[in-house]
Amino acid sequence: MQAIHAIFQERIPFNKVLGLEVVSLHHDRPEFRFEMRPDLVGNYARGILHGGVISAVLDTTGGMVAFLCLQQKLKDRPMAERIERFARIGTIDLRVDYLRPGIGKSFHCRGFPLRTGNKVAVARMELVNDTGDLISVGTAAYTVS
């Protein structure tokens, strides 16, 4: 898990742009957090998180769900092979429901596996702010072959 943590937080440039920090890499419920920053604002008059940031964080979280579930399925395979599969995961479909304005000092995003097959994984994601308000939910399908 330390290698996955390092890859996610240090080697993926876009995760650094978003300011994503790993909270948990548990295979049933990975969780990330990030702080609100002026460069993540979409509505400058109200200081609301940009919708693109929301969808990107949901997608990143869902991708990690797919990867961690795949790791569980391949746990008897060599680590190098399991890490290599990370590079082959891709988003097939992403649905985002924006429920409330993205207002907050910080945000947490959690993912939940719905199904992991040999070729496709499906995940559910939730983004909440620092006061626990549900900001957005997403469902996504990922190729894992």
The per-residue pLDDT string of the chain (145 residues; one tens digit each, 9 = 90 and over) reads 677 777 777 778 899 999 999 999 988 899 999 999 999 999 999 999 999 999 999 999 999 999 999 888 888 888 788 777 777 899 999 999 999 999 999 999 999 999 999 899 999 999 999 999 999 999 999 999 8
For the chain, the domain total comes to 1
Q: Is 108 helix (H, G, I), strand (E, B) or coil?
A: strand
pTM of the model: 0.92
> What local confidence, expressed as pLDDT, does residue 145 receive?
84
What is the domain-level CATH number for residue 44? 3.10.129.10
Q: How far apart are CA 130 and CA 105, in angstroms?
A: 6
Q: What is the pLDDT of residue 1?
A: 66
| pLDDT value of residue 143 | 96
Contact criterion met (CB below 8 Å) for 36 and 107:
yes
User: What is the structure's pLDDT at 18?
Assistant: 95
Q: Return contacts of 23-30, CB within 8 angstroms, 24+ apart.
A: 23/108, 25/1, 25/64, 25/68, 26/68, 27/68, 27/69, 27/71, 27/72, 27/113, 28/112, 28/113, 29/110, 29/111, 29/112, 30/61, 30/64, 30/65, 30/68, 30/110, 30/111
Token pair 């983004």: residue? 127
Domain that holds residue 59: 2-143
Contacts of 124 (CB under 8 A, 6+ apart): 62, 111, 112, 114, 137, 138, 139
